[in-house]
Amino acid sequence: MEGENTVKLHGLRKSPFSFRVELALKIKGIPYEFVEEDLKNKSELLLKYNPVHKKIPVLVHNGKPILESLVTVEYIDETWNDNGPRLLPQDPYTRAQLFVAVRQVLITKGEAQEKAIKEEIDTLKVVEEGMLEFFPTTPITNENQLGVLDIIICSVLGSYEALEEVFGVKLIDPERNPLVFSWLEAVLKLPVVKEIRPTHEETVTYLQNLRDNLKVCKA
């Protein structure tokens, strides 16, 4: 029987999807237990909480599972709205516009994984232009300045160096994507991010496995 306000996150440390949920918990200052899953030998609890898709991450709050990383980040922000900074804007219109920008980033990531990353580099220019109004105008110096868009983009592009090593393509650079690059460098230096961010070597291994699995599926 789960106790009151018990929070567990079933995930994989090297997964960008688990990372974004864990970062949201960290920013909000919510105590939680991280349950490391073996995706080749999934736990009975993971299969119980997500019996259809059997995927991570799964946030379990008081015994109730919340699925899908973006939905989970929104749940965290609404449930613990008095903890830490608000991750989502309260104004409905601003929030709707923000989710449009988030979807652009997520679509870019998915396409980049399933197709040649080279085909997607130019779309980052469009994404950057669309996100101008949501990025802070002052330099980021602490986690209280972060919001959901920061969390999503950090999880998507934070591994850009590993992506370059595995796929042989420079996804972002200071000249082509100055806004995203400078913002990303500042965020990656924050202690709250460094504490849970996978190492470069771990990310390379994760991406190599992902690449190899995609090749097998297409064979």
Between the alpha carbon of residue 208 and those of residues 55, 70, 116, 120, 158, the distances in Å are 19, 25, 15, 19, 16
Residues (pLDDT < 50) of the chain are 1, 109-114, 116, 216-219
Write out the DSSP string of the chain. Answer: -PPTT-EEEEE-TT-HHHHHHHHHHHHHT---EEEE--TTS--HHHHHHSTTT--S-EEEETTEEEESHHHHHHHHHHHTTTSSS-SS-SSHHHHHHHHHHHHHHHHHHHHHHHS-GGGGTTHHHHHHHHHTTTS-SS---SGGG--HHHHHHHHHHTTHHHHHHHH------TTT-HHHHHHHHHHHTSHHHHHHPPPHHHHHHHHHHHHHHHHHHH-
**Which residues fall within 8 angstroms of residue 109, CB to CB, at 6 or more apart?**
156
Residue 128: the pLDDT is 66
C-beta of residue 137 within 8 angstroms of C-beta of residue 183: no
Is 62 within 8 Å of 2 (Cβ atoms)? Answer: yes
What was the pLDDT predicted at 102? 63
pLDDT score, position 113: 47
pLDDT of residue 100: 65
* Predicted structure pTM score: 0.83
Tell me: the pLDDT tens digits for 135-159?
655 678 889 988 888 898 788 888 8
